[in-house]
Structure 1
Amino acid sequence: MFDSEDRLSWLLAVLAGVLGATAFTHSEGYFVTFMTGNAQRAVLGYFRHDVLLSITAGLLLVCFVAGVVIASVCRRRFWSGHPHGPTVLTTTSLVAATAVDVIEDGWGVNMLDFAPIMLVVFGIGALNTSFVKNGEVSIALSYVTGTLVKMGQGIERHMAGGTIADWLGYFLLFSSFVFGGVIGGCISLVVNGTWMLVVATAVCAVTTAYTYFHMDRRRVLD
């Protein structure tokens, strides 16, 4: 029912969930996967007389879009033989986020500053371009709202005479993202913000190595 691309999407969705948990548990409530929330914050902050809220939310939107654009450029120019090359950019951004955090506050800080969070958001934007078909993203890893809409539509098709395959894939993608959040939440109970970034970076690096040197090579050979 599901191929290697589907299974890889679940793995990367888990990674996105872990990254979301990293920011949520060790920052001032910044959204790194929820761009709908950032869009509303960017506007509604002014109505709450909180200009800083609007500015930070707007900057996170810019970082996310920049990650998408730069990953797409790299995919077109440098990663023709690596369909999931954007994971490299995500790992690089997490390494940079960790380095910035350590330089600014050392290894003992619990709450992450805004600069590392911007780099994490950039990496998540890049990660969302990991699955492209006909020039468009075919699987949005952190777009949970869209995934749930598609799952609901699939459930209706199943009820109208379709099969479980109409919605099960979307459910598994959603569940993978939530599972990543659970993993990240558990990790946050035993490490501070800096080490949470280190763990997330290590997980992303292992995932990148697997996709870049195994999954992508097998796909090209096929």
Structure 2
Amino acid sequence: MLVPTLTWNASTTSSPHQALGPFYDLRELVLAAMLAALAGAAGAAAWLYTSGWYVTFMTGNTERLVLEHFKGEHVIAFGALATVLVFVAGVITATLARVYLWRKARHGATRVMTAATIAACLSDMFLVAEGDAFGVAPVMCLAFGLGALNTSISRRGEVVMPLSYMTGTLVKIGQGIALHVASIRRWGWVPHATTISGFVAGAVLGGALFSNTGTHHSLLALAAISLIISVATWFLDHHGFIADDVY
């Protein structure tokens, strides 16, 4: 009787060491931590800018778009819906751009994020009236950019390491620690812990910028940081691209 076998190649194998998890190599792990830090900084800036509106927490926004109606806060509910839709639009845009524009590198999503942070800064300067609590346009720009950024670490169109979805990352860390203790798979929690550490570091940076520089300057600083990370991403990712990692 013939027994079916699986043939593995560069597109189906994961990293050479369990401590790298879904990453190809150490360079991609560092890249994910940097991009997660950018996501954390952008999320912190948006939250402080609006005094409590998340652009990284789509689970909460999905609940708010329903539950706020029960409180009579219809405008807030529609705002949550808009945030979710714009976030998804960012994912769609970055994915299509990857398919048609930058098939040989993943750093293009960071370009979209950089453009979104610049747009957020400019819209806050020119579209938000003096005395307004906050502007909708800057928040939507950041949500769009974060949706795009989350597509960065993908394999054949599937995200293998989300950069702002910390609930799932915490689940992976917990599972990895349990499997490590049970001696089933060691160090599988390390890449996820690295990513969440980058996210937390970015949140600290974003919070510090907003608290010490004010709204306009903090969004400008965020755009500058995103531009720097975009350049760094090109060096980290472009030359190390895996040829088989295509759609």
Q: TM-score, normalised by structure 1?
A: 0.93
CA drift at 1:111: 5.2
Structure 1 position 148, deviation (Å) = 0.3
Alpha-carbon distance in structure 2 between the residues aligned to 1:109 and 1:130: 37
Name 1:58's counterpart in structure 2: 81
Q: Which residue of 2 aligns with 1:143?
A: 165
**How much has 1:164 moved relative to structure 2?**
4.6
Q: What's the CA shift for 1:123?
A: 0.2
Instruction: For residues 84-117 of structure 1, give each alpha carbon's deviation from its aligned partner in whole angstroms, at most 9, with x where no partner exists.
Output: 21100111111111111111248x8895311110
Alignment map for 1:197-212 (pairs within 5 Å): 197-212=219-234
Find out whether 1:173 has 2:195 as its counterpart. yes
Matches within 5 A, 1:150-189: 150-162=172-184, 164-189=186-211
Q: Does 1:78 align with 2:101?
A: yes
The residue type equivalent to 1:77 in the other structure is Y
Structure 1: gaps (5+ residues): none
**2:232 is matched by which residue type in structure 1?**
Y
Q: Distance in 1 between matches of 2:205 and 2:53?
A: 19
**Relative to structure 2, which stretch is displaced further, 6-15 or 167-176?**
167-176
From the superposition, tell whether residues 93 and 158 of structure 1 become closer, same or farther in structure 2 (CA, over 3 Å). Answer: same
Kindly, what percent of the aligned residue pairs are identical? 36
Distance 1:101 1:165 in 2: 44
Judge conservation of contact 1:151–1:170 (CA < 8 Å) in 2. yes
Give the structure 2 partner of residue 219 of structure 1: 240
Partner of residue 134, structure 2 = 112
Q: Partners in 2 of 1:79 and 1:110 — Cα distance?
A: 39
Q: Unpaired runs of 5+ in structure 2?
A: 1-18, 21-25
Partner of 1:190: 212
Larger Rg: 2
Give the letter for the 2:110 counterpart: T
Change in Cα spacing, 1:112 to 1:205, as seen in structure 2 (3 Å) is: farther
The question of whether the paired residues in 2 share the 8 Å contact of 1:112 and 1:193 is answered with no
For the residues of structure 2 that align with 1:144 and 1:221, how far apart are their CA atoms?
26
Q: Which position in structure 1 is the counterpart of 2:121?
A: 98
Amino acid at match of 2:215: G
* Equivalenced residues, count: 220
Letter of the 1:126 partner, please give it. A
Greater shift, 108-117 or 37-46, is seen at 108-117
> Could you report, residue by residue, the CA deviation over 1:11-34 in whole angstroms, capped at 9, with x for unpaired residues?
111111100110111114211100
Which residue identity lines up with residue 207 of structure 2 in the other structure?
G
Residue 196 of structure 2 aligns with an amino acid whose one-letter code is F
Which string of whole-angstrom CA distances, capped at 9 and with x for unpartnered residues, describes residues 61-90 of structure 1? 000000000100000000112222110011
1:15 paired with 2:38, answer: yes
SS state at 1:165 partner:
coil
- C-alpha RMSD over aligned residues: 1.9
Corresponding letter in the other structure for 1:26: Y
Residues of 1 paired with 2:182 and 2:95: CA distance? 38
**Equivalent AA in structure 1 for residue 137 of structure 2:** A
